[in-house]
Structure 1
Amino acid sequence: MNLRQAKEKAYQYLTDIENGINPNEQRKEDSNHAITLRQAFESYLLDRELKPKTIVGYRQVINCYLKAWKEKPLIRLDEFEVTAIHKKVSQNSKAQADLMARVLRALFNYANREYRGNDGAFIFANNPVKELSHKKQWNHVGRKNTRIRSKELKAYLEALKETRNNPKFNHFTKSVCDACEFALFTGLRKGEVLGLEWNRVNLKDSYYWIDKTKNGKQLELPITESLRRILLRSLGK
């Protein structure tokens, strides 16, 4: 900056001060206006206690569906862009399109309180994701309800047994069979089955416990004979 530019900048600051504008606050507002989607997202992750699996899912959304917007100012992502992106993603996966929109909605709600203008004015007062509700554009994908019926249980268990005893399959495949069978007999979620450790299994007294369920509480459960056979098999017995 040369002398002439410095004088012009100084005069600009003096004019702002005379008009009641704090140059430091103005710089902060300008900086907040320039916050990119990526910067807001990373800040959001630091301020929220999210499960690792949730963070992975959110990052996939940002990197897959909002990649073109990552380095652009978040404030430029208006309702027209949001509805257009949601419509495009819906062509491949309606569930993923709604997930993308929910992530964006949370991000804009966070930005609304985190990034302010002069005198605490809300820069992100308008959440563009609301436009999906106005246009009734949410896909509202229901939960999957496919299940193994009672009459299918025998064939399912026999298929697992046949796969497990097939010499062409390795230990990993056999372990997957055991995990599927364990889940079938207990109703546990995939993460709960795969995350079960031996320090939470008491074969002597026939019980085991889940360290942390979906509601955050421990859960103690009995070891039935069917589960005992699976556990002993995993020990090579």
Structure 2
Amino acid sequence: MAINANDYIQTKEKNIKLYKKNKRLFLFDFRVDGKRHRKFFEVEATNHSPKENLEEARTELINLKKKIKEGDVTDKSTLDELFIRYMENEPLTDWAHKKKHIYDLYIGDSGLSNITKEPSKELLAKRAKYNEVKIGDMQIATIKPMHIEKITSQMAKVHNLSPRTQKGILEILSPLFNFAMRNKLMSENPAQEITIKIPSQKKIVTNATELFKKVYVGITEYYKDNPFYQALFLFGFTGRRKSEILNLKWENVDLTNDYYWIEDTKNGEKQRYPLPLMIKDPLMQILDDRVGLVFKSPINPRKPLTGIDRPMRNLKKHIGIDNLTLHYMRNILVSTLAEQGTEAVTLSGILGHKDINTINKYLSNSTMESGLKGLKTIDNILDVEIIK
């Protein structure tokens, strides 16, 4: 459930707010050891007075604070409580933010998504439907595959959501249940045996090698006097995702040993890649204090760059490829390397995929080792010095 502060009124209890449209629904908003927590609580009894409802909410809040303070998550804890504890150990990345949003939209009500934008009537109606099959209030020991499948089934049949969106539920729940198993809270992972078939999303790239050369020449020609954007687009040209590029930090770039680390990856792992000379050279030319983000916002250096649409439009116009995007550059790269006979496991590593089967999406393991193999092939294709 999205949280809109205007929907609640403050009670006499400091950390408890009451929902205006439901006198039994409360919002807890509190901090434990400096960390903010927000959680919904609804009084089950319908015959209590407002005073009695508030007293029950106060007691629940006291117990909740104690459980968080003591780290008391058991097999009788709810999925919401497990998710809150699980996310406490997760790094603050874009993917972590998305996980909170997806969880609160389709799975439960952790209160971590912190959505403040006023939802439309249409979205409110959809959320009411989503709420019918949420499992966040279930004890983790009682959750079965059928409960998860009920969520994904409704997503498909009622809301016509894509298989990719449905699979996102499993990508959140499976690691969550594995976390519970490691902590002896569950004996098995109810999401592990559920599979969702995703239709082929191959993007056909014809004459990929020639197109690859054309994009490289376009980037280096158009941004020859702008090392900032030359480096940015060459990162995309060599397989990095947009979020990985924009969140890259100078402290994760080793200009001496020619490699860099990606922390905010889609699969949640730190990944090391070789730094090719064609990117290192413009990086060295960027006038920057080399602290924090590499591609920082000119307005607020602590924030990543936003609004790269105009530079991309200019590049597309110069090259003459109307559908060029950072993501499409990944398609071109992998299609080019595949044309040169590069193995699937190497392609997977270059793109940063943990599962080599994912490569099929772009043909429509070590990332460092795969990256070096890929760069050697690129070196031969472009006939430029890519690696030492």
| TM-score (normalizing by structure 1) | 0.52
* Corresponding residue of 2:234: 181
- Aligned partners of 2:196, 2:75: CA distance in 1, in Å? 28
Corresponding position: 1:209 with 2:259: yes
Deviation at 1:42, TM superposition (A): 1.6
Q: Which has the larger radius of gyration?
A: 1
Match of 1:151 among 210, 221, 234: 210
- Please say if residues 219 and 230 of structure 2, whose CA atoms lie closer than 8 Å, have aligned partners that are also in contact: yes
Which has a greater percent of strand? 2
Corresponding position: 1:129 with 2:194: no
Deviation at 1:155, TM superposition (A): 4.7
- Aligned partners of 1:111, 1:198: CA distance in 2, in Å? 33
- Aligned partners of 1:161, 1:52: CA distance in 2, in Å? 31
Q: CA 1:41–1:176 in 2, change beyond 3 Å: closer, same or farther? A: farther
- Please say if residues 33 and 73 of structure 1, whose CA atoms lie closer than 8 Å, have aligned partners that are also in contact: no
- Secondary structure of the structure 2 residue equivalent to 1:210: strand
- Aligned AA for 2:196? W
When the two structures are aligned, how many residues end up with a matched partner? 181
- Aligned partners of 1:193, 1:142: CA distance in 2, in Å? 26
Match of 2:102 among 38, 51, 61: 61
- Aligned partners of 2:213, 2:254: CA distance in 1, in Å? 27
- Aligned AA for 1:223? L
Structure 2, unpaired ranges of 5+: 1-72, 109-130, 289-388
* Corresponding residue of 2:153: 87
* Residues 71-114 of structure 1 deviation map (CA, whole Å, 9 limit, x = unaligned): 51234544333112112334322123123124223333443564
* Corresponding residue of 2:168: 99
- RMSD of Structure 2 on Structure 1 (CA): 4.5
* Residues 160-212 of structure 1 deviation map (CA, whole Å, 9 limit, x = unaligned): 579869xxxxx9xx95564123432x44554554415289465xx8x743145
- Aligned partners of 1:89, 1:178: CA distance in 2, in Å? 40
| TM-score (normalizing by structure 2) | 0.35
- Secondary structure of the structure 1 residue equivalent to 2:197: coil
Corresponding position: 1:197 with 2:250: yes
- Aligned partners of 2:276, 2:171: CA distance in 1, in Å? 38
Structure 1, unpaired ranges of 5+: 1-30, 117-123, 166-170
Which has a greater percent of helix? 1
- Secondary structure of the structure 2 residue equivalent to 1:139: coil
- Aligned AA for 2:154? K
- Secondary structure of the structure 2 residue equivalent to 1:44: helix
Identity, in percent, stands at 18
- Aligned AA for 2:96? I
